[in-house]
Structure 1
Amino acid sequence: MIVAVLNQKGGVGKTTLALHLAGEWARRGQRVTLIDADPQGSALDWSQQRGREGLPRAFGVVGLARDTLHREAPELARDADHIVIDGPPRVAGLMRSALLAADLVLMPVQPSPLDGWASAEMLALLTEARIYRPQLVARFVLNRCAARTVIARETAETLAEHDPPVLATTIGQRVIFADAAQTGRLACEIAADSLAAREISALAAEIARLGVGRTAP
């Protein structure tokens, strides 16, 4: 399965989500490659920091920030159970290529009023990609949520009736994710029974229940 984590808005925790999903699947013994398609290269930086800390490789990380991604990612997928694409913000050509490569698109959004998360351009690109990949599955993911806030509940309720819909699992705003980013670690490595680690595990389980598989373009 090829999962693209995409949002044209920066600062929504896209890279953290991509890294932790890849790490969760690798922890379960699956072969995983993460494609860093963001020109900023944050996932590659994380991988290099992991090496500097003397930690074993959790999964492969490759830089592929070019608009031929939809041709190259399926080749990488032949030798992996999961490909996770950490997509670019506001680079239309790269975004289109990532959408065409994907089986599942995850769009992390922070709890906010409707006009804060609804990216007309992003949804237009998704609609365009479905012309070529009609089986493309997409979901919003509520990320960086403060616990039990009214705005988080209202955002979830709004997205529940939306197309794409929102996943039930929410990911909290947790200090451990910032620590993980700085040290080249995953939340489950810092604290195996942390809320962050359990949320990522629940997210991976919910994605598995979607039953998404590779389909021909």
Structure 2
Amino acid sequence: MIVALLNQKGGVGKTTLALNLAGEWARQGKRVTLIDADPQGSALDWSQQRAREGLPRLFGVVGLARDTLHREAPELARNADHIVIDGPPRVAALMRSALLASDLVLIPVQPSPLDGWASAEMLALVAEARIYRPDLAARFILNRCGARTVLARETAETLADHDPPVLAATIGQRIAFAVTAQSGRLVSELHDTPAAREIAALAAEIKRLSIGRAAP
């Protein structure tokens, strides 16, 4: 399965989700490659920091910030159970290529009306991609939120009226994500924490969707 984390709005946590989702699948024994399609190269920076810390390599990280991604990603997928694409903000050609490469696009949004409105352009790109990839699946994922806050609930209710729908799994605003990222680590490498449980729940929900190639 090829999963892309995409949103034209920056700062919604795409890289954090991409790294930790890839790490969760690797923890489960899956062969995983993460494609860093963001020209800023944050996932590549994380991988280099991990190497400097002398930590074991959990999954491959490849820089492919170019609009031939839709041709190159399927080739990489032949030798992996999961491909995770950390997508670019506001680079339309790269975004379109990532969409055409993917089986599932996850659109991270924070609990704010502004994030919901900003996603309209992203949804237009998804609709465009479905002309060529009618089987492309898409889901919103609420990120950096307090599940019990009024704003998070209202954002979820707003997105519930949309196609694509919002995932049941939500990711909280947790310091563990920032702390682990600075040292090239992942929340799954911590002892049982809310952050690790949230990422595991996200991976489990994606598996239940049975999208793309045969579910592992």
Query: What is the TM-score when the length of structure 1 is the normalising length?
Result: 0.96
Cross-structure match for 2:201? 202
Alpha-carbon distance between aligned partners in 2 of 1:184 and 1:124, rounded to the nearest angstrom: 35
* Distance across 1 between alignment mates of 2:44 and 2:100: 23
1-structure distance, mates of 2:8, 2:121: 8
Cα shift at 1:181: 1.2
Letter in 1 for 2:54: G
| Match in the other structure for 2:125 | 125
CA contact (8 A) 2:111 2:145 kept: yes
Structure 1 residue aligned with 2:32: 32
Structure 1 segments of 4 or more deviating over 3 A?
Answer: none
Question: Which stretches in structure 1 are left out of the alignment for 5+ residues?
Answer: none
Shift of 1:146: 2.4
Instruction: Determine the structure 2 residue equivalent to 1:81.
Output: 81
Does the 8 Å CA contact 2:176/2:195 hold for their aligned counterparts? Answer: yes
C-alpha distance in 2, partners of 1:188/1:2?
Answer: 21
Q: Please give the residue correspondences for 1:2-151 in structure 2 after superposition, counting only pairs within 5 Å.
A: 2-113=2-113, 115-118=114-117, 119-151=119-151
Identity %: 82
| Residue identity in the other structure for 2:99 | L
In 2, the alpha carbon distance for the partners of 1:204 and 1:64 equals 24
Gaps of 5+ in 2: none
Alignment partners' CA distance in 2, 1:42 and 1:214: 28
Alignment root-mean-square deviation, CA? 1.1
What is the correspondence of 1:153-172 to structure 2 with a 5 Å cutoff? Answer: 153-172=153-172
**Equivalent position amino acid for 1:101 in 2:** A
2:70 match: secondary structure: helix
Aligned residue identity for 1:120: A
Give SS of 1:89's match.
coil
Shift of 1:147: 4.2
Query: Partner residue of 1:178?
Result: 178
Stretch of structure 1 that moved more, 147-156 or 99-108? 147-156
By percentage of residues, which structure has more strand? 2
| Cα separation, 1, equivalents of 2:115 and 2:14 | 16
Q: CA deviation at 1:76?
A: 0.1
Q: How big is the shift at 1:24?
A: 0.3
